[in-house]
Amino acid sequence: EVQLVESGGGLVQPGGSLRLSCAASGFTFSSYWMNWVRQAPGKGLEWVANIKQDGSEIYYVDSVKGRFTISRDSAKNSVYLQMHSLRAEDTAVYYCARGYYYGSPGDYWGQGTLVTVSS
């Protein structure tokens, strides 16, 4: 059974940093793109970033470029999202999702982890 479990969310002050983790199991992690998608309270879905199987291709939405970094560790079957210079508008539930190709947000999703940016 495919499982994606996010962790690392919480309350952080504006300008602060946070690192999200996503532990994957139930599939061959090294064979899939991985995505982060977020959803602000009461709003729609917004794709944040994705990373190719071997990490050789990475893409970000414009609003997080230069502030967020996606990475993966095949030895740990995990994908990460390092977030710096956080803003109030980054407040959202962050989902980890498995992509079947670069253009897909995900065929399996985790349950999400809430990031709140507030003073």
Residues that bind another protein (CB under 8 A): 35, 37, 44-47, 50, 59-62, 95, 100, 102-112
Sheet holding 3-7, edge to edge: 3-7, 18-25, 78-83, 68-73
Please state the closest distance from residue 16 (CB atom) to another protein, in A.
25
Pick the closer one to another protein by CB: 72 or 99: 99
Least distance from another protein to the Cβ atom of residue 103, Å: 3
* Cβ atoms 96, 6 nearer than 8 A: yes
- Compute the least distance from the CB of residue 1 to another protein, in Å: 13
**Nearest CA among 58, 54, 47, 53 for reference residue 96:** 47
